[in-house]
Chain A
Amino acid sequence: MIYCPRCGTANREGSKFCNDCGQKLGTHTRIKCPHCGIMNSVQNVFCDECGGRLLPAPLDASGAEVGPPIKGLSLPTKASAPEEDAPDESEAPEAAGDMPAWLRALGDSWSDEPGAGAAREEGDEGDEIPDWLQDLRASIPAEEPGEGQGADDDVPDWLRELRSPAEKQEAELLAPIEGHNEGEDAWLEDAEQVEEEAGAQGPESGGGELPDWLEAANASGEQGEEGEDEGPAFYAEGEAEDAAPDWIDEPEEQREPPVAEGEGAGAPEWLAALGLPEEDEEEGMPFSAEEEADEDETPAGLDDEEPEVPAYEEEAMATPEWLVALGLVGAVEDEAAASGHEEPVEEEPAEEETLDWVDEEEIEMSPEATAMAPPPDTLGMPEAELPDWLEALRPPEAEAEVLSGEELAEAGEVPDWLVLSADDMEEDEGLARADIPGWLLALKPLELREEEDLEEETPEVEEVPEEGGLLAGLIGTLPVEMLIAQPRAVTATGGPELPSADTPQARLFAEIVRRPPESPPKPMVQAEVPLIARLPLWIIYLVLIAVVTVPLLIGEPVLVRRATPLPAEQSLYQGIESLEAGSPVLVAFDYDPTTSGEMDVLARSIVGHLMDRQARVVAVSLLPAGPATAEMVLDELAQGRAGDADGPDLLYANLGYLPGQVAAVRLLGESIEQALPRDFQATPLAELEVAAGVTDVQSFALIVELAATQDTLRWWIEQAGTPYDVPLSAGVSASVEPIARAYYETESRQLEGLIAGVPGAAEYEALVSGEDVLIGPTAVRLDAQLAGHLVFVLVLVVGAVARSTRRNAGRGQ
């Protein structure tokens, strides 16, 4: 995102102009490391590759770094006057910087105060400077200017501890800066020259503590006695002359331009950003041209957050009163090219190659802009959020110190509605994205939401363990199924949750919600869905019923289908054909009325063939409702068969239900008499002619399993067929076919034969009848099934097309 320096609107990466106000945006999105050349994020202060400093840090005369306090390790630090960072001043931009643009926009629109929008980094489009900035201006002279470590006072202890090892080391490295004569770059030589010209000011002059633009003002001042403590006097608009800082009273001869003309290389970024376009052109340094020429190599922080503040420009054109009063104007204007110079001393400056990133940003700073430039902290540089790992390191007390929002509110720097009380902060200590409550996040525009935000809102699919089958007990075996099982629409939640931070808006909202109605509420009229809106659904249902019913009503196959039996079907057929008349066959009716529509067709095909072959059918079931279902089919098939004249008992025996599942099958393998001493009619097994001579599973010539679920199929294969080496065939539901095929496609043929579903039954009937086309009632059912499936497919395809078309139309609009 590139935030507009004028209005704060967040624009897409690569945008050249603000989508909201048209302001030209910086195009640099990366910053090149001067040491290793690696491109880094604009939020980096140090290089990701070599650790080198990416942004220049000001040095005092001793070479020690006194530059801007790094408020966050990912902050694109701007040079600042180190001493004016009173805690309450530094907090304001920090808090503002933490806020995304959309939130700032919300804050501006909601706040009653005109200055509430001051949470933005820069002033609004008006002429006036935000209140917080004016407050800063007014308050700074009254403060005791810091010393070399003044800026560090604002840094929380925990952060200083984190920073200190690296920076101390860096300061040690940079201390003997005079020794950098060999191979120094031009700007570095200039910086050295400046030091020499500055003479003995050294540490006393505060040159190391003050930015160069301030030194320029210092040099052009009329008088001064001391040069140390009044660094932030540039804000002292309207101050009396006697209150002028001591450095202004320095002798004229000491106010030499600290930097050679044209060498604005070392200007701090924020200062460079203030460079007026006109002046750039006058100085022959078309900044925009450079931008276009070397987009990639220019430090992005210099452009992306370029605070082209109209308010500053206008005020810069109108010379501040305090500057006029001090008589600095003329001198400062003469030294325009020399102002605003701050040596970007590198940690380990490259000795041979020129730092191109410095050259590209040579910007002449106008003294007016320089004089009016607020300290970088108050420029509202968007201070990036601390990285998570750093947040984790933050001790509680440090956090409280950083987030003293109430003080900010008192200073008018942060709108009240954004301020959390201390108690709230204690309660919400653990919130990483602390200041934005959930109800406010809900207002975040969709286009600005990041992926993680969307992921958070994505409803999680609760994965339940499989309840049956091979995968019983496993969790999440088929996530798609869980997606289907999700409710169609998320029910509307209640009202927005009130944030723990009791903001004025939240209080007002709660008050309105709790307020009793002025008049008795009118009864809600339940909006009725018009009939026409429900029509498509009913049309689908009616069409489905019609296409399924019509073939059944016709009673004859509508389509002519050629019989193409599969090998498994042929194997089953041949296995039954090879049975001798009177051979006992065990048929397990392991289905109930729920699946009887499909399974009865299979049962009729196989058992009918068995009865035709005069086999003795002994039926059992592992399901409680199985025997009743089997009785219906068996009785129907027995009617009109060969042995019907002597009674159906000669054709089959229904032994009924056997509880115990796996154990029951195993028990049948050991002893049928022990497992089922009576049949379904309560007749003793010994009295059943069909079961004569049957003692255990091995007594049967064939076992036929009619399985609607894979579990019973496995039980019979594992506990009866394979262990006792009895031929086992199966007629299974189409849903069990994938599992059943695995047992058929084995070398040892754990399944001798297999038919599956209504199509398998139709093929089997064709085999039995010897026809080469599918005929009979099963073929009729197959036609009905085909019609239903076609409707199903059409609904899916048409629905998908309609949905896609509607979505595209919505995007087009």
Chain B
Amino acid sequence: MAALKRVVPTAIAIAVGLLVLVAVFGSIPLVDAVAVYLIDAAVIVAAFAFFLGLLNVLRVHGRKIREGGANSLYSFVLLVALLVVLALGLPPLGNQPSGPSQPAVQWIFQNIQLPVQAALSALLVFLMITAGYRLVSHRNLESAVMLLVALLVLVGQVAAGLVPVLVDVKDWILDVPTMAGVRGILLGVALGAVLTGIRLLLGVERPYSD
């Protein structure tokens, strides 16, 4: 039975992988149709993961509310907001569309979620200043190089049309040393992806059964 549990998933994974691979390199209508169906199934599974995530959020914060404590109020607010948005988006109200495009939901997004997230992101500037200052305090070569490059790129980024030299320096940094590193990384990633694919097709890698 244990062998069956190991063999069957492996065989399915290999078969699906080979089918999609053949569909990419070949043009057999039946195989293409099966491949598209399999990819569509993957999208559905990914969407279903959101539903599982929703259930998990309900369970976790429901437990926190039951247990009480200082932070239970936040869990309560979270669950209330979740249920309100869900309730607003689920049923069609007259001719209004349902889902995220529902006007009430859209209003909540534009007036609550977007400003809050944007403000949180804007706080990064203070974090960056603090991080940069601390980087100065770490006196080593890595810190010095990183700080110097960061400053040059930052200044060169906003000096467009003002100080061409700074822009040229920034472009040189991005086009020469950075490009070399990025290409090396991309090649490594590509080789790693090929290797992982081969291992999956050969059944050496079995993330689904571990």
Contacts and interface: CB of A to CB of B under 8 A. Distances in A.
Interface string B11-29: 0000000000000100000
A488 interface: yes
B101 A793 contact: no
Given A793-B151, A793-B155, A470 B117 contact: no
B132 A774 contact: no
Contacts of A541: 126
Contacts of B146: 480
Interface residues of A, number: 75
**Residue among B45, B118, B161 facing the most chain A CB atoms (10 A cut-off):** B161
**Residue among A540, A541, A656, A659 facing the most chain B CB atoms (10 A cut-off):** A659
B137 interface: yes
A796 B151 contact: yes
Given A667-B36, A799-B133, A723 B24 contact: yes
Nearest to A676: B43
B46 A664 contact: yes
A471 B185 contact: yes
B161 A789 contact: no
B101 A470 contact: no
Interface stretch (A235-243, A256-264, A737-745): A737-745
B67 interface: no
Contacts of B151: 793, 796
A742 B158 CA distance: 22
Nearest to B143: A480
Contacts of B113: 593, 625
A682 B99 contact: yes
A660 B117 contact: no
Given A596-B118, A659-B47, A659-B50, A795 B160 contact: no
A505 interface: no
B175 A741 contact: yes
Interface string B150-164: 010011011111101
B125 interface: yes
A9 B10 CA distance: 72
Contacts of A596: 114, 117-118
A675 B37 CA distance: 10
B31 interface: no
Interface in A715-770: 723, 734, 737-739, 741-742, 745, 757, 759, 762-763
A52 B178 CA distance: 57
A539 to B, nearest CB: 12
A627 B137 CA distance: 43
B118 A734 contact: no
A741 B171 CA distance: 10
Contacts of A757: 157
Contacts of B42: 660, 663, 667
Given A667-B40, A774-B161, A745 B154 contact: no
Contact of B189 (A470, A488, A663, A674): A470
Give the size category of B's interface with A. Answer: 35 or more
B7 to A, nearest CB: 25
A471 B185 CA distance: 8
A659 B43 contact: yes
Interface in A100-123: none
A488 B154 CA distance: 25
Nearest to A563: B161
A785 interface: yes
A792 B154 contact: yes
B30 to A, nearest CB: 14
B109 interface: yes
A762 B162 CA distance: 13
A593 B43 contact: no
Contact of A663 (B32, B43, B131, B137): B43
Interface in B84-130: 97-101, 106, 109-110, 113-118, 120-122, 125-126, 128-129
A2 B146 CA distance: 42
Given A741-B174, A786-B159, A597 B121 contact: yes
A782 B40 contact: no
Contacts of B66: none
A748 B143 CA distance: 37
A50 interface: no
Contacts of B134: 483-484, 488
Interface string A774-804: 1000000010011011011101100110010
A670 interface: yes
B98 to A, nearest CB: 6
Interface in A617-667: 624-625, 627-629, 631-632, 656-661, 663-664, 666-667
A789 B128 contact: no
A629 B167 contact: no
Contact of B43 (A664, A774, A793): A664
**Residue among B120, B125, B175 facing the most chain A CB atoms (10 A cut-off):** B125
A803 B158 contact: no
B162 A559 contact: yes
11 contacts: A480-B135, A559-B162, A597-B118, A597-B121, A628-B109, A670-B32, A680-B101, A738-B182, A796-B132, A796-B151, A800-B133
Given A597-B118, A757-B157, 13 more contacts: A597-B122, A627-B101, A659-B43, A667-B40, A674-B36, A675-B43, A738-B174, A738-B179, A742-B183, A745-B179, A759-B158, A789-B155, A795-B132
